[in-house]
Structures are given as C-alpha cells and as structure tokens.
Structure 1
Amino acid sequence: MIKHLLRLPLYCLGTLLAIGVIIILFGVSDHPDVQLGWTLGHEDILRARKILREGSKTSPDEIGTLVLSKEDLNLAANYLLNRYSKSAVEISLKANKLKFIVTATLPENPLGKYLNITIRLGNADDGPLPTVTKFKAGKLLLPSSIAAYLIDYGIRHSALNAYFLLATRQIQAVKIDPDKITVTYFSDLKTLIQARQLLSPEASTSAFNDYQKKLGEIVAGHDPKWRLSFADLLKPLFTLAYQRSDLNNAIDENKLAIIALNDYINKQETHRFLTSANASTPYYAAFMYKRSDLAQHFIGSATLTASMNGQVSKVVGEEKELSDADGGSGFSFVDLAADKAGTRFGELATASPEQARKFQKALSEIKGYNDIMPDPTDLPEHMNESEFKSRYGSTSSPAYQRLSQEIDERIAAIPLYKPD
C-alpha cells in the first residue's frame, strides 16, 4: 500500500508532463492565430498614461476600482507580452466572458514558429473572481479544470510567480460586462513598496555598485577644462561588462551598465552615488556632437528598450518631440535621431547572449561616440506645432516617413549596428 502511495506523485507528474507535451504538439503551428506586428500609437500612449493615473489615485489601505474597456485590455496585454517576446494577444468581451487569443513566437524548432492558445474566463456561480471556462491549444480543447491547474502550476513555478502574487493578492473582485471589466482592489502600503521593488531596477546589488564605482572613477579623473564625452563613460563600462560576463549573464550585465549610465546622465539628483566614496567628486554633463541633450535622449531610449520594449521606446520618443512642438522647445529630428539610435543600441545589447557578448567587445574598442550614433546636427529642429504641421503634417505623412527612414538608414550604416 505504501509503495503504491509513493508512486502516486510520480504518476501525477507524468500525467502533467504528458498533457504539457500534448499542448505543445497541438498548439504549435507555422501560422499565427493573431496577426503579429502590434504597433503602439500616440493615442495608445495617452490611454496607457490615463490607466496608470487612475490606478495610482487610490491611497494605501483603501478600496479602489479600475474600469477597463476592451481597447484598454488589448493595449495593456500586448504591451506586457511584447516586453518579453514578439507576441500578440486579441482580447474580446462577449456574454460576460473574457476571451484571450494568444500567439507567441517560438525559438527555432522543428515543430513550428508559433504557439497559439485560446483562453476564456468567466465568473462561475457568480463568484467575485473569474475562472478558466475554456482552454484551447491550437484546435485541442482541454477540460477547464485541468487547464486552470496547469496555468496555475506554470505561473507558480516560473519567474512570473512574484508578479502573479503581487497582483492577485490585492484583487477583491473582477466583474465582466459586455463592454468593460471592473476590477476592485485593496491597496496596502506593504504591497506598494513590494511593487516598487519588483518593478524597479535592482540598484543595491554588488554588480550594480561596481558600475557605479567605475563611473565615479571616470568622473573623478575628468579634466573639467574639456567636455565629458559620452564615449568616455560608455567604453569603460562596457569593458567592465565584457570582463564580468559570460553567455549566462551577458544580457544582465549589459542592462546594469545601461541603467547605471542612465542614472548618471538623466537623473542629476542621482549623481550623489558618485560622491559616496569621495565627497568632492563633481558632476559633469555628458556630450555627443557638443550637445548634452543627445546623450540624454540616447541613453534614455536605450534604457527603455533594454528593460522594456523597443516599440514603446520609439513611440515615447516621437511623443516627447510632439509634446515639445506644442509649447516646448520645438519638434527636433535631431533629438529623434538620438532616440532611434538609443533604441537600436538597447535592442542589440540585449538581443541574445551571443549578441550581448559581441556588443560588449565592440563597445570596448570604440574610438568615439560617432561609433554609436551618426551626426544628426543637419536635421531640422526647433519647430513649433504650426511649423511642424505645415512642413510634415503628422508622423504618418510621406514627408515625415521619408526623413524618419533617412535617419534609420544613417543609423544602420554604422558598423556596430550592421548584421554580422
């Protein structure tokens, strides 16, 4: 009897593995169920900001509600999916059910290019939280109870578990209506602190401190009679990344180097970390092509791309320039070029372990900032809103797209960004 009981967990594990294999076999295909190539527009950016503001209005230890339309859900879900891989999701609301059709791009394999999953959620027996009512892998329909268990098991035994617990622990109820969902949640101070720690870059690790220390050494040794070149910061940090890395940690080291640079260049108040070892260490702006704003745009976009999403970085750059045209410093294709170059930089620095290592080595051998960004100073800038509309109309006009393409071609011509 004991012998049989001891075998039971093995039988259960074997069953789960078999079901997992079946899902992969039926769910993998050469054809995506959802069209890939999701693009984030300017209206999406505005709506995302509104959602974030609404979610932040609730004070700690208060009950809050968040109402999301089908468009909001699709925006948020596609944004999150594309932080990690080239994927897409189509969300629909029908008959008080929430339906997800998800297509994820897979690494090269003999089975197929895409994994297609369909999940439907509903409030069973008028419960406050929705449960899985339908699950399909390709054309294979699984019982909802088995699917729910597999999803829960997969989340709890992956890197998603911390995010899952943080989100679900505070949700009190989710009401699904034909045109929206209403989330009721309780926000306590402890959870807000945990969320900040989870979603913010880890700045207290010894590895990050090593990059901060290296920056401090560079700045401490800088001759104030000369401009501080962005390359004089970048090259030593990626030399350090190359020395610290192998294929297992190259991407993470590149992210730390980029984040450390951004903390110095774009957040002047954080230059205090440089003074921890030497209170007299000054702060100097970093320059590219005799302009400090180009270094700020470049590394800001690189950081956003490396830690989040290249598509988001691209649109945020355009959104910033359009905002500047409306009462700010004016629309600048010069700044936009720096944004685009930074986005490309962030993409390649974190594309794959092999690419990350090649990138480190190449950056440890650069001679100047022209090795990472073409000269943009001949491009139009300082255009107010009326002048921008008169010359280019909008970001979707042929005139704008031609100049945007020219900037892309200039960046692509830099050897660092050329394919192997």
Structure 2
Amino acid sequence: MILRSVKWLLITLAIIVVLLVVSVATITVMAVQKAPLVASTAPTQLDGADSVNELLGQLQQAFSRREEGHQVTLTETQVESLVGVLQRALPDFKGVVNITPVAGTINVTYAINNTGYYVNASALVLPGDSLRIEQVQVGDLTIPGRFLLGFLERTVNSYTQSKIATIALSRVERVTMRSGELTLDVGRLDELLSELNVVASNMSVSEQTELQQLSAYYLRYLSGREIALSSKPVSLIEYLREGMARAREQSQSPDDAVLHNNAVILALAVYVGHHRVGALVGDIQPDSEKALKPRRGAVLHKRNDLARHFIISAALELMAEQGMSLAIGEFKELMDRGNGGSGYSFVDLAADMSGTEFAKVATHPNTAMEVQNAIARIQSELEIIPPIEGLPEGLSKQAFTEQYQRVDSKAYLKEVQEIKRRIGLLPLYQK
C-alpha cells in the first residue's frame, strides 16, 4: 500500500514537472518574436537631453519640500532622452514613449544576443486618480495591468521588508495627460522618504565588504596627506601617486593590486570627485555628518572640472556595465547644452574617456601592478590624460546641432575618434 502511494506521488510530481516545463517553454515561445517592436535610435532620442534639467529641478523641489504636494510633469522628450542614454550604454535595448490626451504607451525591445530574436513589451497607461496600467503585452502574452502592479507591489515590499511600493503608489494622486506630456499630482513625500530609511536599514549589510573597508582606509589615508592641506590646487596625479604608492606597499599579488587599486580610485572619487559618489560605494566616511574633502580641489590641465570628470568616470567604470560610464558622461554633456549649462564639451568627454581607460588598466590583473609602478614614476599629467588643445567645448544646443547634428553623425564621431586617438598614444593605456 505504501509503495503504491509512493508510486502515485512520484507520477504526480513527474506530471507537475512536465507541465511546468511545458508552461515555461510555451511562455518563452509566446514572449519571443522574430521582429523588433521598436526601431528608434539613441542619437535621435538624445537630441532632447537638455530638457531633463527641468525635470530634475521639479524632482529636487519635491524632495526638498517634502511636506507639500507637488505636480511633476514629464514630457515625451524627457522620457525618451533617459531611454536614449540607456540605449547608448546597452545597444540591444530600444524604447519609445507616446503620450496622448487619452492614453500613454511605452514600447520596448530587447535583442537576444544577436540571435535574430527579440523580447518585445508594451504597456498602456491611462489617466485617472491613481497610476493605472490597463495592460502589458509581452510578445503574444497579455497581462492585466492591475495584476502586474499588484504583483510588483508585493514583490518589492517583500524583498525590501517594507511598505515602500505601497506608499510610493499611494503618493500618485492623479495622472493627467496632454499631447506629448504627462502630469503626476504627487502627495507629500515625507512618509515615502522615511520609509526609504527603513529600506536602507533592512537591506544594509552589517559588515562592510573588503572593498568598502579598503576604500574607507584610503579615504582616511589620503585626507591625512600633506597635499590635502595645500592652499593651492593640486594635480590629480599627486593624489594618484600617494594612493598608488600605498597600494603598492600593500599588494603582494596581481589580485591584491586589483583590489587595492579599486579602493584607491573609489576613495579618490569620493574625496576629490564628489562626496555623493560615496552613496554608490557604501558607508566609507569616518563621520557621516561631515564628508572629508581637500582644502583645495584637485586639477587636471589646471581645471578642477576635468579632474572630477576623470576620477568619477573611473569610479563609474568600476561600478557600471561596460560602456555605461561613457554614456553617462556623454548624456551629461548633452544636458549642458541647455540654458544655464556650460555647453557641450569634448574636453570634458576626453577627461571622461581617459578616466575610463585608467580604471580599466588599473584594475586588470595583467596590468594592475604595472600601473602602480608607473604612477610612482609619473612626471606629467599628459601621461594619464591627453592634450586638450583643439577640442571644441562650450557649445550651445544650437551650435552643437549646426556643427554636429546628432551623436551618430560623421562630424561628431570624428571628434570622438580624435579623442580615442590621443588617448591611444599614451603609453599607460597601451597595455
């Protein structure tokens, strides 16, 4: 009798497994398609990158005045610009947004590893007294929007051990649409921001990782060096020399060198780049209420902005997908074309790209120890960043458009190629 029961149990389990496999296979087949839904290009979408400044200003006001309600307006141009920078970093991803007075649609396509197959998805968003997603289409599958929102709400709450998703959804008090524009009436955000602290506490790791510990160590070490107290701007190579010299003393193997070089770059990004980079690294400040910073900022080519571009891009390269740091730097320059910005700068882009290359060679097992030795002997900034003479900068949106049109034009790519050529001539990056 027992054997018979076990037999039927095994048969039942086998049937369940088969049904699950068939279901997954069926869903996969229905979700994958042979033609892309979206064919938009990032260069076209990035034309409106400067409009994102207005959106950032609205968000900053909403967060700073958290005990009041706010209206946040998003335009198709702003959303597609953000999609464009993501596509710039992830070429297999494409997305497009369309907003009308009666509905908004979001369409995305992801190419599967150059197989000729695509995952296509679209969502229909309706105006109303809350965030209303009517339906989501993934390939040939149709998912009710209410079901998907509920599933995502429960999943996020469960993962973060909080009510963050429920509170966030409840803050959206009204959604209105006009042609090319969506407006969110958002309730007071104080409860949401307080819940974010709960999330941070629930998801925090009680013990720092080794990289965080080392980054905190190098931050304290560099802040205690004599150059940090200089009344005059100090070249970034002086900070790199101090940090890499100490890293060389601590490195007994290529793996050690990779770890310590990572920590030096991250510490410098926080110290002479911007203290907010620390939010990406972790809690490395000795005093959370007062961030460490040098008496005067670091410089490259006698410019503080170039030193910051270099070291922050290096840090982003360590923490982001390949290509993301360049995409972010490029997007920031496109934003600067608008009124009040410093204008598009190929000089800044050269610093971004140089920082990215430095991070690559400094944290590769085959070259990490060589970089430590090279930085100890470095004599000139031109060994880590190329000359900037002749590179255009300060271009307004009109001037940029007249001269380069978009970021895929021959004229634009020629400037980028020239920067790559100059960087490629530096011995440090010829490893």
Same fold, judged at TM 0.5 (above): yes
Write out per-residue CA displacement over residues 254-307 of structure 1, whole angstroms, 9 at most, x where no aligned residue. Answer: 88654432221134899995799xxx9975654556765532221133345645
1:379 and 1:210 mapped to 2: Cα distance? 39
Structure-1 residue corresponding to 2:270: 263
Structure-2 residue corresponding to 1:212: 216
Say if 2:272 and 2:293, in contact at 8 Å, map to a contact too: no
* Amino acid paired to 1:337: A
1:107 and 1:242 mapped to 2: Cα distance? 38
1:370 and 1:151 mapped to 2: Cα distance? 52
2:197 and 2:383 mapped to 1: Cα distance? 32
1:28 and 1:313 mapped to 2: Cα distance? 33
What RMSD, in angstroms, separates the aligned Cα atoms of the two structures? Answer: 5.6
Identity %: 18
Structure-2 residue corresponding to 1:130: 132
Write out per-residue CA displacement over residues 140-188 of structure 1, whole angstroms, 9 at most, x where no aligned residue. Answer: x32433x764675468657996685674242223234554322222132
1:119 aligns with 2:122: yes
Structure-2 residue corresponding to 1:231: 240
Alignment partner of 2:108 out of 64, 80, 102: 102
Structure-2 residue corresponding to 1:46: 50
Shift of 1:415: 6.4
Say if 2:111 and 2:118, in contact at 8 Å, map to a contact too: yes
Shift of 1:38: 1.3
2:137 and 2:265 mapped to 1: Cα distance? 40
Shift of 1:342: 2.5
Change (3 A) 1:15 1:49: farther
Shift of 1:375: 2.7
User: What is the correspondence of 1:17-416 to structure 2 with a 5 Å cutoff?
Assistant: 19-28=23-32, 32-35=36-39, 37-39=41-43, 44-58=48-62, 59-79=65-85, 86-93=92-99, 96-106=102-112, 112=115, 115-123=118-126, 128-137=130-139, 141-145=140-144, 149=147, 153=151, 157=155, 167-192=168-193, 205=208, 207-222=211-226, 229-232=238-241, 235=244, 258-267=265-274, 273=285, 283=295, 285-286=297-298, 288=300, 293-303=305-315, 306=319, 309-317=325-333, 320=336, 334-344=347-357, 348=360, 363-364=371-372, 366-367=374-375, 368=378, 373-379=384-390, 394-396=403-405, 402-414=414-426
User: Under a length normalisation based on structure 2, what TM-score does the superposition of the two structures give?
Assistant: 0.64
1:244 and 1:189 mapped to 2: Cα distance? 49
SS of residue paired to 1:116: strand
SS of residue paired to 1:173: strand
SS of residue paired to 1:315: helix
2:244 and 2:193 mapped to 1: Cα distance? 37
Write out per-residue CA displacement over residues 310-367 of structure 1, whole angstroms, 9 at most, x where no aligned residue. Answer: 32312324655x689x997x98754442133235556x589xxxx8666756644543
User: Under a length normalisation based on structure 1, what TM-score does the superposition of the two structures give?
Assistant: 0.65
Structure 1: give runs of 5+ residues left out of the alignment.
none
SS of residue paired to 2:37: coil
Say if 1:212 and 1:273, in contact at 8 Å, map to a contact too: yes
1:127 and 1:327 mapped to 2: Cα distance? 36
SS of residue paired to 2:386: coil
1:410 and 1:52 mapped to 2: Cα distance? 34
SS of residue paired to 1:39: helix
SS of residue paired to 1:24: helix
Change (3 A) 1:76 1:132: farther
* Amino acid paired to 2:28: I
Structure-1 residue corresponding to 2:281: none
1:172 and 1:31 mapped to 2: Cα distance? 38
* Amino acid paired to 2:141: L
Say if 1:132 and 1:144, in contact at 8 Å, map to a contact too: no
Deviates more, 1:51-60 or 1:264-273: 264-273
Shift of 1:100: 2.0
Deviates more, 1:179-188 or 1:164-173: 164-173
Structure 2: give runs of 5+ residues left out of the alignment.
1-7, 279-283
Write out per-residue CA displacement over residues 118-155 of structure 1, whole angstroms, 9 at most, x where no aligned residue. Answer: 3232449x663313324131xxx32433x764675468
Say if 1:39 and 1:311, in contact at 8 Å, map to a contact too: no
Say if 2:107 and 2:122, in contact at 8 Å, map to a contact too: yes
Say if 2:153 and 2:165, in contact at 8 Å, map to a contact too: yes
Shift of 1:72: 2.9
1:245 and 1:158 mapped to 2: Cα distance? 39
Say if 2:268 and 2:311, in contact at 8 Å, map to a contact too: yes
* Amino acid paired to 1:232: R
Say if 1:122 and 1:132, in contact at 8 Å, map to a contact too: yes
Say if 2:45 and 2:84, in contact at 8 Å, map to a contact too: no
Shift of 1:54: 2.0
1:74 and 1:365 mapped to 2: Cα distance? 45
SS of residue paired to 1:212: helix
1:371 and 1:15 mapped to 2: Cα distance? 64
Say if 1:242 and 1:360, in contact at 8 Å, map to a contact too: no
Change (3 A) 1:87 1:235: farther
Say if 2:254 and 2:368, in contact at 8 Å, map to a contact too: no
